[in-house]
Amino acid sequence: MTLSPTVAAVARGRADRARHHRRVLVVLAALVGAAFLLSLMVGQTFYPPGEVLRVVLGDEVPGASFTVGRLRLPRAVLALLVGLCFGLGGVTFQTMLRNPLASPDIIGISSGASAAAVVAIVLLGLEPTAVSVVAIAGGLLVALLVQLLAHRGGGAGTRLILVGIGVAAMLDSVTSYVLAQAAEWDLQEATRWLTGSLNGAGWRQVVPVLGAVLVLGPALLALSRNLTATQLGDDTAAALGVRVGRTRLAVVVLAVGIIAFATAAAGPVAFVAFLSGPIAARVTGRGGSLLLPAALVGALLVLVADLAAQLVLPVRYPVGVVTGVLGAPYLVYLIVRTNRAGGSL
């Protein structure tokens, strides 16, 4: 059967967008791989790719086995996983709420994990593993609180964002108050954690985040089609067979969980969740889910920012400082652009 010219043009357009989407994924994956390899090679001592590969495969290489295998490799793996988590979780909220401001940085989830961690460090004196557990619980509880407070009207859109911003402001005040009471040694630890840092990364931090990526990541990707359908509006999505309420609940739980695990491991690395989605949308164009491209963009952002923090800048800063410098101007630009367009948020 011969297709009409209009239908054929639509089919060609969809095929072209799908090919472009696949090419972008391949390029992003290659860039992430290159940044990961570079983070293993460079530092105070340079190791060629051959030696790095031998260390990764388990061979004993004098000098490189310690520097690459025990110092650089867990740091690079944690940077990769944390970036994947922040990118995936951030774009999930932005897609669900149809608003680029709806990232965990803005709506209070990161603030909840941070406040819980500071209380655990300063007031409870807990060990790092227990601090991570408390931070995960804090992020989940704040997400539940924001959802309940914004439940009127479906709990989506601008209302949830505004409620999240208010809750985040209150939690930031709690964090500041607790820090003001902290002893000097607790203050240093809490401040390092709040900044978002990969310093001292080890396999102990990597394993929980890897588990979150392997369990929660595929579950989120499996919901990507339903999540994309909700962008058309609840009524349209329901007409397409999507159970909107159930989908939204599952997406929120999964996205908050993956963000909380990343925050517990490296602290709230600023603006990675906020930036990954818009960057992915810009490079992929229209069509296709943004979840996987945004996850790769998040991994690339954290890996490159950590390299810049260690090697490019005159002082070694935590990775969160570099991502904060990148993200803050974009946040200001987005707010100014929205106000000029006459929008609310």
In a domain, 106, yes or no: yes
Give the chain's residues under pLDDT 70.
1-16, 151-157, 286-287, 335, 337-345
Supply the CATH number for residue 236's domain: 1.10.3470.10
CA angle 310–46–85, rounded 5-degree value: 45
Which amino acid, 301? L
In a domain, 5, yes or no: no
Q: Please tell me the distance from the alpha carbon of residue 341 to that of residue 338, in angstroms, as a whole number.
A: 5
> What separation in angstroms does the CA of 182 have from each of 132, 209, 265?
19, 28, 22
Closest CA to 92 of 222, 238, 261: 222
Q: Please tell me the distance from the alpha carbon of residue 283 to that of residue 26, in angstroms, as a whole number.
A: 12
In a domain, 13, yes or no: no
Q: Please tell me the distance from the alpha carbon of residue 3 to that of residue 203, in angstroms, as a whole number.
A: 56
pLDDT in tens, 248-283: 888 888 988 898 888 888 888 888 998 898 899 888
Q: Please tell me the distance from the alpha carbon of residue 286 to that of residue 1, in angstroms, as a whole number.
A: 29
In a domain, 37, yes or no: yes
**Residues 123 and 178: beta-carbon distance below 8 Å:** yes
In a domain, 10, yes or no: no
Q: What local confidence, expressed as pLDDT, does residue 2 receive? A: 54
> What separation in angstroms does the CA of 213 have from each of 14, 83, 95, 306, 345?
30, 11, 19, 20, 31
Q: What local confidence, expressed as pLDDT, does residue 75 receive? A: 94
Q: Please tell me the distance from the alpha carbon of residue 111 to that of residue 277, in angstroms, as a whole number.
A: 20
- For the four alpha carbons of 263, 268, 270 and 273, in that order, the dihedral sign comes to positive
The whole-chain average pLDDT of the chain stands at 83
Q: What local confidence, expressed as pLDDT, does residue 343 receive? A: 46
| Structural domain that includes position 55 | 20-340
In a domain, 32, yes or no: yes
Q: Please tell me the distance from the alpha carbon of residue 132 to that of residue 258, in angstroms, as a whole number.
A: 13
In a domain, 14, yes or no: no
> What separation in angstroms does the CA of 30 have from each of 37, 297, 300?
11, 11, 10
Give exposure, 225-237, as e/b (b: 16+ Cβ within 10 Å).
ebbbbbeeeeeeb
In a domain, 33, yes or no: yes
Q: Please tell me the distance from the alpha carbon of residue 10 to that of residue 8, in angstroms, as a whole number.
A: 5
Structurally, how many domains does the chain consist of? 1
